[in-house]
Amino acid sequence: MKPVNYVILLFLPVMVVAGYYLGGWFNFLVPACCFFAYPIANLFLSSAEQHAHRFSSQAGYKNLALAFVPVLFALTACCVYMAGTVKMDVIAYAGLAVSLGIVNSIIGFTLAHEFIHRFSKTEQLAGYFLLLQNNYMHYGIEHVSGHHVYACTPADPHTAGINESVYSFLPRAILGTYKNAIKIERKRLSREHCRIPVLHNRMLWFGVLQIVIMLMVLFMLNLHALLFFLLQNIVAIIMLHIINYMQHYGLMRKVKDTGRYEKIDAHHAWNTGRKNTSLNLFQLENHADHHMHPHRSFEELQHTGDSPEHPAGYSFMVLLSLIPPLWFKIMNKRISSNI
């Protein structure tokens, strides 16, 4: 896909703004579109084989991805400001928070995930800025140094076991992400023999930054704005972990005779179908290739034919995961056929 093809994702921030100005239940335009209209429309849209195509250079993709960062910042700042200064009923307030949280998850967390794997300081800074906006900066530590090491093993909080419901997975994953990040940072500080560890502790500084942001919202606006900010954070974080639940559900690495786990391969992550209709989430659908080549930028990721595949796109699969008996019935058969 050419860089310009990803610009279509801007329709999500536009819908947040449109919903606010239309008022009332229209503030739920984003979830209605993402989890109702879009999955239904996909049943009737013509589809093409999913491939990743590089354009002329990586610069176009990099600049496009970075351009989303100020858009998301402006959108979040405006919504928080309106929540704190404009009188809204409960429906409008909740709808706006849910819509903003979904956008900050679908685009924000996806791009943050992309940037924290890069070597460029600019991209890493952009990634942690997006994580700060979602009050989840420790995810950057755990994901790179934890999940990518222990994925599809019992040590990974982001890998859901077979017959584990999303409702039991979510608290375990959220708590496990934080605990693992603390352990990883302690090991790093011990390994680097820092004279004054507290000055180099990223977990501490990330916590300080997040508290500062919340205090700024509280004192520059009010409690309504802070509660709104936290509510959309919760929505974004829950969405992130539902996606994590889907990406490795039931896929475990085997232990070799040496006692070590086998190397992660294509069959250890779910891809999202061979067909791609109208929306591409920065190649998030090609998750297996990302695990095998974590430093590849999103436009370079390829569809891996050996990976198990979800029966439908992300929108439908998120809804399916919320109904555990149906999820188990459909997904467990696919796990058995791929072992």
- Transcribe 289-339 into DSSP letters: HHHHSTTS-GGG----TTS-B-SS-HHHHHHHHTSHHHHHHHHHHHHHHH-
User: Average pLDDT for residues 332-338, to the nearest whole number?
Assistant: 75
- Tell me how far apart the alpha carbons of residues 276 and 6 are, in angstroms, rounded to a whole number: 13
pLDDT at 30: 94
Confidence at 278, pLDDT banded by 50, 70, 90:
very low
For position 64, what pLDDT does the model report? 86
Q: Mean pLDDT throughout 36-57?
A: 61
What's the token pair of residue 98?
């849910």
pTM of the model: 0.91
Mean pLDDT of 208-215: 96
Of the listed ranges 46-50, 152-156, 186-190, 268-272, the one predicted with least confidence: 46-50
- Work out the end-to-end distance of the chain between its first and last CA atoms, rounded to an integer number of angstroms: 32
Among 79-88, 250-259, 320-329, where is mean pLDDT lowest?
250-259
When mean pLDDT is compared across 111-120, 151-160, 164-173, 292-301, the lowest value belongs to 292-301
Lowest mean pLDDT among 122-126, 159-163, 168-172, 265-269: 265-269
DSSP lists the bridge partners of residue 43 as none
Which stretches does DSSP call E strand in the chain? 48-49, 275-276
CB atoms within 10 A of CB 241: 23
Q: What six digits make up the tokens of 193?
A: 């023999």
- Name the burial class of residue 74, with classes exposed (0-12), middle (13-18) and buried (19+) by CB atoms within 10 angstroms of its CB: exposed
Judge whether residue 94 has pLDDT over 90: yes
The first and second tokens of residue 41, run together, are: 């429309």
Encoding tokens for residue 105? Answer: 């998850």
Q: Is the pLDDT of residue 54 over 60?
A: no
- CB contact at 8 A, 52 and 293: no
Is the separation of the CB atoms in 134 and 234 below 8 Å? Answer: no
Predicted local distance difference test score (pLDDT) of residue 28: 95
Mean predicted confidence (pLDDT) in 37-54: 61
**Cα separation, 144 vs 112, whole angstroms:** 12
- Token pair 């994580």 is found at 131
Cα–chain center distance at 183: 22
- The pLDDT value given to residue 195: 76
pLDDT reported for residue 184? 94
| Banded model confidence at residue 57, pLDDT cuts 50, 70, 90 | low
What was the pLDDT predicted at 48? 46
Radius of gyration (Cα) for the chain, nearest Å? 20
State the pLDDT at residue 279: 58
Q: Identify the CA nearest to 203 among candidates 147, 151, 131.
A: 131
Residue 51 has what pLDDT? Answer: 47
Whether the predicted pLDDT of 170 surpasses 90:
yes
Average pLDDT over residues 53-82: 84
pLDDT number for residue 104 = 96
Query: So what's the pLDDT on residue 50?
Result: 45
Do the Cβ atoms of 78 and 117 come closer than 8 Å? no
Residue 49 has pLDDT above 70, yes or no: no
Of 259, 22, 208, 12, nearest to 111 by C-alpha is: 12
Burial annotation 246-266 (CB, 10 A radius, 16+ → b, else e): bbbbbbbbeeeeeeebeebeb
Pick from 43-47, 101-105, 160-164, 245-249: least confident: 43-47
Predicted confidence at residue 52, as pLDDT, reads 46
**Does residue 216 carry a pLDDT above 60?**
yes
Q: 235 and 28 in contact (C-beta within 8 Å)?
A: no
How does the average pLDDT of the chain come out, rounded? Answer: 87
Token couple for 237: 């974080």
Higher pLDDT, 336 or 292: 292
Q: Please give the pLDDT value at position 15.
A: 95
